[in-house]
């Protein structure tokens, strides 16, 4: 019988690789809570309309990349391709604006896009997101950006750079879009890739997001949102920069940075790495004022970011495997039940460890204890069973001593504590 294998574009996260993801999640929770963010957990499955209305019907995500299907009641459902739309839906549906003035949330979990699998990009991928609602001032932009940057650098990541742009607002963007359309009328559209030729008719701003070299060369001469920003957007963006300058953050202005989703406006940003090739972006986001209202909620502003965990994991070294305090080596079959009882008592006292599930030779079990990184090995054989004793072997120094089974917790804790203090 043939074996069943995983679906193309989906990955198994197993030790030690999964340890990187645990580290990212733990560090994000620790770091974001310092800024007053609380965790939100949203469904992986939403109505398709949510993403079509928020991301944009003309985006590649909606047209080509979503996992969409019809359920038994004829409803069109989609596995979430990103988190912001779901967070906004939850914000509206649960009337969270009535509970607090400014809302700060973060989410961690899998997303799904049907794309060609490549380095750092899978069809099921994982993101860490953060969102702020009802904070219109540039101080919110600067806080979110600084939180993202300090989170990434706290991981020990190097060779990162921060890029900023402003996309204007609903008042000044039409002027920019008109200028862009006039520019496109002066070029040979056949020189664009097939996707950008279609974008030139349906959503010209998406051309800026194209990674095809010829399209990038053509768009290099095009007008930019920054050139057409109104006074309000210009002042907002300048204040964001001033706050970051005062805090000592380095960044680069990138007038072609638009991100890939339609809901962004005003401040947009991206963190890129020099170490992972063409897919250099490891995190990014921006302001999406108007999105909450567009989805049927109150007219409150929003801003957020997403970190791609697969790409961050590529930049991380595997953390040390979790060590264990003890390993109970069972040398006689009669000691199996007692050995697991002793292990349970030790765990109840706050220690970590495991016990063998079968009696084997001392040599093989000491090797197993060493492989697991146990600080001490407890040996339980025929003599120890008769004398109500346990042999305690220090796996670092090699020293060995006897201890009574009663009160074993104190003896083991003393040795473990001594090792931790060294």
CATH number, position 343: 3.40.50.800
How many Cα atoms are found within 13 Å in the side-chain-facing hemisphere of 237? 27
The token duo for 13 is 């996260």
Does this model's pTM top 0.85? My answer is: no
Instruction: Indicate the burial class of 345 (C-beta count within 10 angstroms; 0-12, 13-18, 19 or more).
Output: middle
Kindly state the DSSP code that residue 105 receives in the 8-state scheme: E
Greater pLDDT, 105 or 221: 105
Q: Is residue 76 part of a domain?
A: yes
**CA pair distance 231, 228, nearest whole angstrom:** 9
**CA pair distance 9, 117, nearest whole angstrom:** 5
pLDDT band, very low/low/confident/very high, at 422 (cuts 50, 70, 90): low
Q: In this structure, how many other beta carbons lie within 10 angstroms of the beta carbon of residue 46?
A: 18
Q: Are residues 283 and 382 in the same domain?
A: no
Of 28, 44, 8, nearest in space to 313 by CA:
28
pLDDT band, very low/low/confident/very high, at 192 (cuts 50, 70, 90): confident
What is the pLDDT, as a whole number, of residue 356?
A: 93
Q: Are residues 39 and 123 in the same domain?
A: yes
Q: Are residues 23 and 154 in the same domain?
A: yes
Q: Are residues 99 and 248 in the same domain?
A: yes
- Count of domains for the chain: 2
Q: Are residues 233 and 378 in the same domain?
A: no
Query: Of 315, 344, 375, which residue constitutes the final position of a domain?
Result: 315
Q: Is residue 415 part of a domain?
A: yes
| pLDDT score of 340 more than 80 | yes
Q: Are residues 258 and 335 in the same domain?
A: no
Phi, psi dihedrals of residue 421, rounded to the nearest 5°: -85, -10
Q: Is residue 215 part of a domain?
A: no
Q: Are residues 274 and 364 in the same domain?
A: no
Q: Are residues 311 and 265 in the same domain?
A: yes
Query: Of 248, 281, 315, which residue constitutes the final position of a domain?
Result: 315
Q: Are 251 and 272 in contact (CB under 8 A)?
A: no
Bond prior to 18 in cis (omega within 30° of 0): no
What is the crossing angle of helices 84-93 and 48-55, to 10°? 110
- Give the pLDDT confidence of 88-99 residue by residue, as tens digits: 999 999 999 999
Kindly state the DSSP code that residue 81 receives in the 8-state scheme: S
Q: Is residue 352 part of a domain?
A: yes
Q: Are residues 272 and 340 in the same domain?
A: no
CATH number, position 236: 3.30.930.10
**CA pair distance 126, 391, nearest whole angstrom:** 46
pLDDT band, very low/low/confident/very high, at 73 (cuts 50, 70, 90): very high
CA angle 99, 100, 103 (to 5 degrees): 115
**CA pair distance 270, 163, nearest whole angstrom:** 5
What is the pLDDT, as a whole number, of residue 211?
A: 72
- Give the pLDDT confidence of 29-50 residue by residue, as tens digits: 999 999 999 999 999 999 999 9
DSSP strand pairing (124-133 vs 76-79): unpaired
3-state SS assignment for residue 115 = coil
Q: Whole-number mean pLDDT of the chain? A: 87
**CA pair distance 201, 196, nearest whole angstrom:** 9
Query: Of 261, 293, 315, which residue constitutes the final position of a domain?
Result: 315
What is the pLDDT, as a whole number, of residue 217?
A: 76
Q: Are residues 375 and 253 in the same domain?
A: no
Query: Mean of the pLDDT values across residues 208-229?
Result: 76
pLDDT band, very low/low/confident/very high, at 58 (cuts 50, 70, 90): low
What is the pLDDT, as a whole number, of residue 57?
A: 64
**CA pair distance 420, 406, nearest whole angstrom:** 24
The token duo for 270 is 């991206």
Q: Where are the beta strands (DSSP E) in 332-387?
A: 353-355, 376-380
| pLDDT score of 321 more than 60 | yes
Phi, psi dihedrals of residue 236, rounded to the nearest 5°: -60, -50
Q: Are residues 272 and 393 in the same domain?
A: no
Q: Is residue 66 part of a domain?
A: yes
186-207 burial, b at 16+ Cβ within 10 Å, e below that, comes to eeeeeebbebbeebbeebbbbb
- Give the pLDDT confidence of 350-403 residue by residue, as tens digits: 999 999 999 999 999 999 999 888 989 999 999 999 999 999 998 888 888 898
Q: Is residue 217 part of a domain?
A: no
**CA pair distance 183, 28, nearest whole angstrom:** 43
Q: Are residues 300 and 346 in the same domain?
A: no
Domain span including residue 357: 326-421
**CA pair distance 246, 156, nearest whole angstrom:** 23
Q: Is residue 204 part of a domain?
A: no
What is the pLDDT, as a whole number, of residue 116?
A: 81
Residue partners of 213: CB distance under 8 A and separation at least 6? none
Q: Is residue 12 part of a domain?
A: no
């Amino acid at each position: 019988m043939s074996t069943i294998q995983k679906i193309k574009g989906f990955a198994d996260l197993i030790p030690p690789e999964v340890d990187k993801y645990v580290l990212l999640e733990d560090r994000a929770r620790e770091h974001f809570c310092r800024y007053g963010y609380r965790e939100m957990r949203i469904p992986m499955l939403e109505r398709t309309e949510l993403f079509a209305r928020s991301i944009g019907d003309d985006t590649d995500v909606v047209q080509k990349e979503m996992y969409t299907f019809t359920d038994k009641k004829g409803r069109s459902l989609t596995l979430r391709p990103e988190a912001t739309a779901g967070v906004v839906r939850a914000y509206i549906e649960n009337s969270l604006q009535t509970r607090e003035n400014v809302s700060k949330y973060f989410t961690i979990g899998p997303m799904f896009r049907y794309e060609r699998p490549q380095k750092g990009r899978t069809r099921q991928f994982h993101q860490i997101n953060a969102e702020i609602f009802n904070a219109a001032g540039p101080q919110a932009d600067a806080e979110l950006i600084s939180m993202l940057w300090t989170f990434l650098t706290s991981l020990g990541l190097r060779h990162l750079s921060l890029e900023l742009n402003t996309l204007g607002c609903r008042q000044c963007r039409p002027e920019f879009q008109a200028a862009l359309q006039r520019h496109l009328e002066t070029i040979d559209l056949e020189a664009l890739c097939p996707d950008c030729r279609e974008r030139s008719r349906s959503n010209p701003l998406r051309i800026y997001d194209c990674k095809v070299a010829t399209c990038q060369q053509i768009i290099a001469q095009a007008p930019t949102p920054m050139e057409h920003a109104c006074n309000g957007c210009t002042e907002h963006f300048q204040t964001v920069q001033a706050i970051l300058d005062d805090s000592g953050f380095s960044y680069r202005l990138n007038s072609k940075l638009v991100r890939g989703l339609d809901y962004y406006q005003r401040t947009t940003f991206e963190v890129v790495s020099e170490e992972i090739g063409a897919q250099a972006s490891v995190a990014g986001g921006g302001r999406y004022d108007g999105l909450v209202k567009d989805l049927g909620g109150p007219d409150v502003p929003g801003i957020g970011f997403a970190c791609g965990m697969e790409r961050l994991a590529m930049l991380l070294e595997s953390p040390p495997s979790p060590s264990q305090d003890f390993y109970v080596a069972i040398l006689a079959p009669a000691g199996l039940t007692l050995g697991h009882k002793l292990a349970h008592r030790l765990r109840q006292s706050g220690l970590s460890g495991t016990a063998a599930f079968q009696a084997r030779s001392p040599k093989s079990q000491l090797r197993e204890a060493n492989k697991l990184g146990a600080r001490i090995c407890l040996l339980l054989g025929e003599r120890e069973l008769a004398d109500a004793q346990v042999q305690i072997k220090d796996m670092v120094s090699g020293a060995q001593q006897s201890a009574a089974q009663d009160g074993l917790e104190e003896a083991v804790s003393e040795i473990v504590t001594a090792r931790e203090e060294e």
